Structure 1
């Protein structure tokens, strides 16, 4: 997966022998990948939207007669979807309804079973997927600024105009230079470095980070570089899929402010109510269709609920009428004296059935059922760190002299600013990273650790299906047992057999959760588990974790998870020091953490 800008330019129309028009197109601009998906996959596939020369009627993008499929299942079908200049559109709906697939279809990463896309000539599309893995050897600064095509084009125009004036100071060339200079200033050319610096600072990078190689960054920070690069490239249509997943409170606020001032069109998939409330149009994706609302998210919820309530009442009345008509026809249809009346009722029934109001599709997906097994037996002390220095191999120390004892029944939350080393500490506790110094000891040989990472793109085998992945984790389980576990998490039918790379972010997270159901652990470790889950599934996760009797580590920015789950909180402070709160009073912990860090 990768962030990219893709422009379409119509070359020609050819008429194949079957009479169907096919549009041949060539890309105008594309951002080179900084982020490569796991297993060496690059972001763009060979499948591209069918872009034709149809008039867009003033829209930046117009999509018609679309059918998206997931395997053999119809995922999404609609007649038309337009994006107008400066539109701010939010795609909302339960996980797995096709929101991500629609963005990927627009960008060309997901093949449409049917449909046409018309893009206004000369316009570009920029897409940021939910997950990415850093892969660039450039510095953060160079990578973030590498695709400022709009500004670079204006700068090139100024240079060419200056050369033209130098060779021939004619009125025509002087006018060209004047216009080019105005365009360059409008594009922010005289404040380019300031613009890049503000973007990186707003997304949480310190000045010391600007010169770091992207290859040294974690997946979450690589995602921020991809986001910075995409935003600085200023595409005419910005497609964002859960852009706040890896951001803390401060950087979320910066992104919201940036998007509110963005001068071009935006389409966002998000579960973040604050982001959605800044938008002017909402598209409700449910029941395989799109429903359009010209309002922000809060108003949409009110209108949708009123509309659904009204539809339910009308349908209930219609069902009563149908039942009465069917009863009359069944009772009197065979009697000669009532034959004409029965025929009349049949016609009335046919007319009523043709006008039946469709019952509203569910506003939430199927509720997941997360049954985490009881903790396997082990020593009381599961994992212990003593005077440990934490950091990536060959990298600087992130946390120094930390000592932690993790016992059965304890739920340790690790909080702190992004980049302070929380995820690195959790990976070290799990034994996935070596200590730089100090000691790590397991309680005994029975300790088994299950880990949920925030970089699902790197840690899930994208070429395998959920069934194949779980089968490899638990080869002793039967086909029925694996199917039941996946089905309990909403991954039934085709969803369990499709390659993981084609699942939505929420579905990928459910695949990862399935491993905790199918395998028995006595230590569970979660790194930002709520990033890719909708609110309903987060609630299910909280309920399941609250009853787990083993040890637990939770890295999160989500205050609700800390308040509902944690029994102790380790705050990682600037400079690599830590402060451990040995108390059950989570309100006191959260109050301190909010002031000191990010909650």
Structure 2
């Protein structure tokens, strides 16, 4: 359904990818993966027609409906939520709005008006044969967490997370033949992500999706498009299938090259020894011809680089870690937290989960004493605890005119220069990048900076609020391993199930009705208990 022929994309002298030839078939769902900066979003924009300046050709049959997940959450501020979703089928939206205008102001004695109404009715029947567009839209909105009583409110009344949910509903509603999704799980809670997985598994056309959520990719995609080596290679299977295949291929390439290099050394040695010997000259000439034909394939360095995240506590903790007692908090008349009480024992690693708006970040801020509970309660840290904190919005903290190195050193001026630079290097900032101005770095780089700060701090109790936002898959896997290996406490808010599976020994789920579930066990065990109905 989508054909890519001889596609090459450059930014100045930099080649993102070249000579790409792909055929993306119906009934296949492609996960587009690659390191940050490899060109995933650029390739998706080329496929969807948002970028037109490239060499080569992208062909999508004209009869196919194309759906592209919007990224501008503020594009529909004056629309009702229902209309914003309906706009996903612009032909139907325009026809319905024109019909409404004619019924309000039209002259029904005029044949032209009646003829136009007949034309519009034909369009509506073609696009919505069952006349159930409003029912279908309402169902999708409720599934993404927008309640029915809000459907006729303006988009401007929603927060940014809910605006994104409406954009997701907008692209899913028309059931396009070709679907392009860039990070569709952003701002979604775990339950909504699970619903989205089931929706996309039923997609009958062609789909290309970018996601840093490994669990989501494994659940949804049938094929992988890997942007690396300035190429886009296709693999059959999900992310885990690709991971195994890619590592086997890299190892095989390495072994093949090693074998060829050994053969090359032997041939060169023979030629050197016998080229001057008349009796061996024929053999030497033959070996030289073999040597000339021998191709040594360079193993190109992958654009992927795995960060090395290691948290080491400087101080051994005592018998008490953290007590959270009867926390209540309201924003005006909106009660968010009610009587939250739990004790964190030394060594426990807790995941805090729940839908958007249930108070996860508020609870974290209260725990970190960034804000006081408005309706009572107390937070008591153990005497030996030294917390280290990763806030949700790193942009509020990582700012100023200094370099990356300067920003980190400001927290501990006595720290050895080599240690700071080594820590930045572990988070993939090379020597030149360490001199960048902190104001100029991306969201993902700011998250890696915050992880660098935490590694240098050496706290024995890590508190993290949505640390995987803006991180690529390699960094998320490395973070999960680091939290698992950490010899201390962890409290982490996240919707990334692979991360939760990696480290959590206890799950606290906050609910919309202000109750909460405190589950002893891994996230996998928690999910199984919920599915079995025992929670």
Does residue 435 of structure 1 match 2:376? no
1:487 maps to which residue?
425
Distance 1:333 1:145 in 2: 80
Report the CA distance shift for 1:348/1:412 in structure 2 as closer, same or farther (over 3 A): closer
In 1, the alpha carbon distance for the partners of 2:526 and 2:222 equals 38
* Aligned pair partner of 1:201 in 142, 146, 162: 142
Q: Distance in 2 between matches of 1:115 and 1:98?
A: 15
The CA deviation string for residues 149-175 of structure 1, in whole angstroms up to 9 with x for no partner, is 243134356679996996336998687
Contact 2:87 2:93 in 1 (8 A): no
* Aligned partners of 1:417 and 1:597 also within 8 Å: no
Work out the CA distance in 2 between the residues paired with 1:94 and 1:308.
17
1:168 is matched with 111
For residues 44-90 of structure 1, give each alpha carbon's deviation from its aligned partner in whole angstroms, at most 9, with x where no partner exists.
xxxxxxxxxxxxxx857767222358xx8x57322135576856432
Once the two structures are superposed, the pairs formed by residues 113-132 of structure 1 within 5 Å of their partners are 115=55, 126-127=68-69
Within 1, Cα distance between the matches of 2:156 and 2:382? Answer: 36
For residues 136 and 437 of structure 2, the distance between their equivalents in structure 1, rounded to whole angstroms, comes to 40
Distance 1:150-1:517 versus aligned 2 partners, 3 A rule: farther
How far residue 203 of structure 1 moved from its aligned partner, in angstroms, is 1.7
Paired with 1:491 and 1:106, the residues of 2 have a C-alpha distance of: 31
Separation in 1, partners of 2:440, 2:200: 28
Compute the displacement of 1:429 (Å): 1.4
| Matching residue of 2:456 | 518
Q: Secondary structure at the match of 2:450?
A: helix
Contact 2:392 2:466 in 1 (8 A): yes
Residue 390 of structure 2 contacts residue 464 of structure 2 at CA under 8 Å; is this kept in 1? Answer: yes
CA spacing shift, 1:253–1:264, aligned 2, 3 Å: same
Following superposition, the deviation at residue 514 of structure 1 comes to: 1.9
Matches within 5 A, 1:152-231: 152-156=93-97, 167-168=110-111, 176-177=119-120, 179-186=122-129, 190-207=131-148, 210=151, 220-231=161-172
In the TM superposition, what whole-angstrom CA distance separates every residue of 1:515-548 from its partner, at most 9, and x where no partner exists? 2113343432123445655665445434433454
The equivalent of 1:40 in structure 2 is none
Change (3 A) 1:348 1:203: same
1:371 maps to 2:310: yes
1:80-91 equivalent positions in 2, closer than 5 A:
80-81=20-21, 88-91=29-32
Distance 2:225 2:381 in 1: 52
- Structure 1: distance between partners of 2:427 and 2:139: 42
Q: Name the CA shift for 1:508/1:142 in 2 (closer, same or farther; >3 Å).
A: farther
Name the counterpart of 1:79.
19
Alpha-carbon deviation of 1:294?
Answer: 6.2
Describe the SS at the equivalent of 2:128: helix
What aligned pairs does 1:119-518 form with structure 2 within 5 A after superposition?
A: 126-127=68-69, 144=85, 148-156=89-97, 167-168=110-111, 176-177=119-120, 179-186=122-129, 190-207=131-148, 210=151, 220-232=161-173, 238-262=179-203, 265-270=206-211, 271-272=213-214, 275=217, 278-279=220-221, 281-293=223-235, 311=253, 314-333=256-275, 341-353=283-295, 356-357=296-297, 359=299, 365-375=304-314, 384-391=323-330, 393-394=331-332, 396-406=334-344, 409-441=347-379, 443=381, 449-453=387-391, 470=408, 477=415, 480-492=418-430, 509-518=447-456
Distance 2:510 2:381 in 1: 24
Q: Alpha-carbon deviation of 1:513?
A: 1.9
- 2:214 touches 2:473 (CA, 8 Å); kept in 1? no
* Cα offsets for 1:218-276 (capped at 9, x unmatched): 66545434433444477776432332354455423432343345576532123435545
| Contact 1:279–1:295 under 8 Å retained in 2 | yes
Unaligned runs of 5+ in 1: 1-57
Q: What's 2:483 paired with?
A: 545
Question: SS of the counterpart of 1:243?
Answer: coil
Structure 1 range deviating more: 92-101 or 210-219: 210-219
Give the superposition deviation at 1:397: 1.0
Give the stretch that moved more between structures: 374-383 or 424-433: 374-383
SS at 1:570's partner residue?
A: strand
Quote the Cα distance in structure 1 between the aligned partners of 2:154 and 2:228. 42
Deviation at 1:489, TM superposition (A): 2.5
Distance in 2 of aligned mates of 1:387 and 1:153: 53
Deviates more, 1:276-285 or 1:429-438: 276-285
Shift of 1:586: 8.5
**1:438 Cα offset (Å):** 0.6
- Distance, in Å, in 2 between the alignment partners of 1:174 and 1:140 is 26
Correspondence list, 1:106-117, <5 A: 115=55
Cα deviation per residue 1:126-158 (whole Å; 9 max; x = unaligned)? 3456x9899969775565556552431343566
| Alignment correspondent of 1:28 | none
Is residue 93–residue 286 contact of structure 1 (8 Å, CA) maintained in 2?
Answer: yes
Gaps of 5+ in 2: none
Q: CA deviation at 1:284?
A: 1.9
- TM-score w.r.t. length of structure 2: 0.75
Q: Counterpart of 2:132 in 1: which secondary structure? A: helix
Q: Distance in 2 between matches of 1:276 and 1:537?
A: 17
Compare 566-575 and 458-467 and name the one that shifted more.
458-467
- Cα separation, partners in 2 of 1:100 and 1:441, compared to 1, 3 Å: same
User: SS of the counterpart of 1:320?
Assistant: helix
State how far apart, in whole Å, the 2-side matches of 1:465 and 1:165 are.
70
- May I ask how many residue pairs the two structures share in their alignment? 529
2-structure distance, mates of 1:137, 1:160:
18
Q: Is the 8 A contact 2:305 2:474 kept in 1?
A: no
Q: CA RMSD in A?
A: 5.1
